[in-house]
Structure 1
Amino acid sequence: MSRPTWINAVVLGAVVTLLTGCSTSKEKLLPHGPQTMLDVWDQGTVGSGGSAAGRQLLDARAELRRPVNAGSPLAENASYSRTAQNEIYSQFRRLPNPDLVMYVFPHLAGSDPAPVPGYTTVFPLYQRVQYAMPGERVEDY
């Protein structure tokens, strides 16, 4: 059984297109010029300060820059700044919630009395964490 003529034409066109695409030379695709990589770099940095002299100036400025957090007044005054965390903790202090220790003596439990050995358990006095109102004293009297 032979294929229709138009399928043969499409297959032939695809093969010719693929072979034409592979026949391009490397020199035509990636031409080599007299420019070095440094020349290309200098052309790319024209907008940000000029050629080699502008790049040297930018490099010198970058060496003089210090990080924002190293010895700056911002880092020294960070403990005095208002943040959400220190606002909550400074205004609404947690009230003490002591742990209670309870010893459960050995006993029998269940519908068929099974022996349960004695054990110790720890639980907080209050079910939820309680907070003091602003200005309320939380230290011991």
Structure 2
Amino acid sequence: MRSNLINLAKGLALAVAVAALSACATSKEELLTHGDRTMMDIWQQETGDGSGGGAGQVARRQLLDARQSLRRPLTDADVLAAPAEQMRYTRTARNEIYRQFQRLPNPDLVMYVYPHLAGTDPVPVPGYTTVFPLYQRIQYAMPGERVEDY
């Protein structure tokens, strides 16, 4: 019984190994057949730069037609609004001061330290108050993220 299981396991392992090795036994020519044309020939034919014309010229014409349908003339309102619109994206001293990434609130915590003894020789330390920020690092909001107090 035990020898049958061992033989079965060996046979199964051998079958898996043969299947794995035969899967890798494919040649490049079988998978990637190619003709006499180079990539440059294919590029020139498809973009219309080659002497063949054909599909490349049609593709170029369709691209130009699509671009033309998306174009529209500027109206007078567009021309008048352009400087103000462009000013929003221009760096100036004013908008450099007004930060694009606002700091998120970081409340101060006030802590009272009670009088205590400190050191190897117990030295009395009077009570005092200290202030420290809640978060260790400064956190910034993403543009458009809400920064007002909640």
Structure 1 length as normaliser, TM-score?
A: 0.38
Structure 2 length as normaliser, TM-score?
A: 0.36
Q: Give the structure, 1 or 2, with the largest relative contact order (CA under 8 Å, sep 6 or more).
A: 1
Higher gyration radius (CA) = 1
